[in-house]
Amino acid sequence: MDTQMRNFGLKVFSLVTILMILIQNSSFTVADSSGDEQLETMVEEDENELSYSSRTHGRTDELGAMEDDPWLMVQKKGNQFVVNDQPFYVNGFNTYWLMVFAADQSTRGKVSDLFKQASLVGLTVCRTWAFNDGQWRALQKSPSVYDEEVFKALDFVVSEAKKYKIRLILSLTNNWDAYGGKAQYVKWGKAAGLNLTSDDDFFSDPTLRGYYKAHVKTVLNRVNTLTSITYKDDPTIFAWELMNEPRCTSDPSGNKLQEWIGEMAVYVKSIDPKHLVEIGLEGFYGPSTPNRVQFNPNTYAQQVGTDFVRNHQVLGVDFATVHIYADSWISQTITDAHLQFTKSWMEAHVEDAEKYLRMPVVFAEFGVSTKDSGYNVTFRDTFLSTVYQTILNSTKNGGSGGGSLLWQLFPEGTDYMDDGYAIVLSKYPSTSEIISLQSVRLSKFNSLCSWKCRWGCKKKHALETSLYHDDL
């Protein structure tokens, strides 16, 4: 153990000692919030050192956490995530192509590079594709016919994520044509002689539903060839996502998509009741909440067959998801209006998750494209800070803001895959610092919540939520 780590350990020991003194002196009580203020002050004063330590030692340690802590499932308790009954907030990222890169030995190393770099700034969750339907290097070459070498590549992604203490949200198909998605399922159906007229038949045709269910069953029951752990039993997997950005424009009422979500969420849970399930929605408000459509980025958003509140009230869905693309939805010219929209968009969904859904909400994609008119790194950093601060505002009040996943993180040497949103941490130190600082803040907040719970938190406390114990 080097000197910096030793110093970090002394700081943690000192903080624990101060906490115990505060508790013994009864300043850490419901009747007197001075203990909380002192704790928050100490946390802020310690922030720079913790941030430096997290970058130096390759991971963001929760206060008091041990390297050999058991690797347990993420669960939901009330409107928050928990691991081992302790709060868990998400600071994560998207990198959709990991399985495809892992399928080629010449690019497999990039998967490891990515997880290593992500862990260095404290990122703990990655969202990626567990599908590639009928395309180049396909996982599913045709209905229920799989390429074992590509499946072994997905095994590698899951195994490698565990090594770096990163959990995975695995998406099971795509609304868009990339990597096959619903359009490929419709092609398979037509080849089998089905009378299909629209890609949206994916949601309603019983044969295509059967194709999708078969894929779900195959993936969830997959035994990892590297770890010998069945996917449905692996704590490395944070959650299953039914579909990336589902839309059903042929039915603006939302009924067709609603029925599909209801059937598939329950089906996933019937195979795997242990893991969390989410839909993959962008967050557009629909017919069930006419008083909320004002928050949509445009009028078209309420005509794509999705309905944020109604969709997430389905049995089997554990948490809500929202995407944030002001530069696609409002204007591709960068303005402060993007920041204003982002803040109100997030706050509206956090409020709905608390009042109506009573579940966490994760802002599962957000980013700014370098291709936007007026783009600069300073604006991107400001945008990221806006998202992160809005999350923190919720967590500090025990709200439903469960975390966020930036779109998207790339390692060096993969620029040719960049869609304009890629962030290579080594190239953008200011952006890397913002991401790292959010990881530190959320990690410390997890620890504060844990100690408050352990030492006597009560309902009137500002941090109290349904995950805390009323009887302590």
Q: Give the active site residues.
A: 245, 365
Give the span between the Cα atoms of 87 and 468, in whole angstroms: 9
Give the span between the Cα atoms of 21 and 57, in whole angstroms: 30
Say if residue 342 is exposed, middle or buried (CB neighbours under 10 Å; 0-12, 13-18, 19+): buried
**Quick check: 98 and 155 in contact, CB under 8 A?**
no
Peptide bond into 117 cis (omega under 30): no
**Quick check: 242 and 278 in contact, CB under 8 A?**
yes
* Partners of residue 94 on adjacent β-strands: 127, 407
Give the span between the Cα atoms of 418 and 105, in whole angstroms: 21
